[in-house]
Amino acid sequence: MTDKPSVEDTREPVWFKSSYSDSSSGNDCVEVATAPGAVHVRDSKNTPGPHLGFAPATWTAFLAYASQR
């Protein structure tokens, strides 16, 4: 067993502004980055900073739920 991260684990995610963000206010932006097996979400005002990670199925379910509201 090794503690050395794989190359995949060390790459910086490519972030993009979510289409669900309010474009009328530059302060209300959510950024999303996808990776194999995960969808990462962060507040664009707090970069670099913490972010949340979700399984792709969980993220898809959240978007389906949010679009019904």
Averaged pLDDT of the chain? 78
> What's the pLDDT tens digit per position in 27-49?
668 888 998 899 999 888 877 77
Exposed/middle/buried for 21, CB within 10 Å: 0-12, 13-18, 19+?
A: middle
- Please tell me the pTM assigned to this model: 0.67
pLDDT of residue 17: 83
pLDDT of residue 22: 63
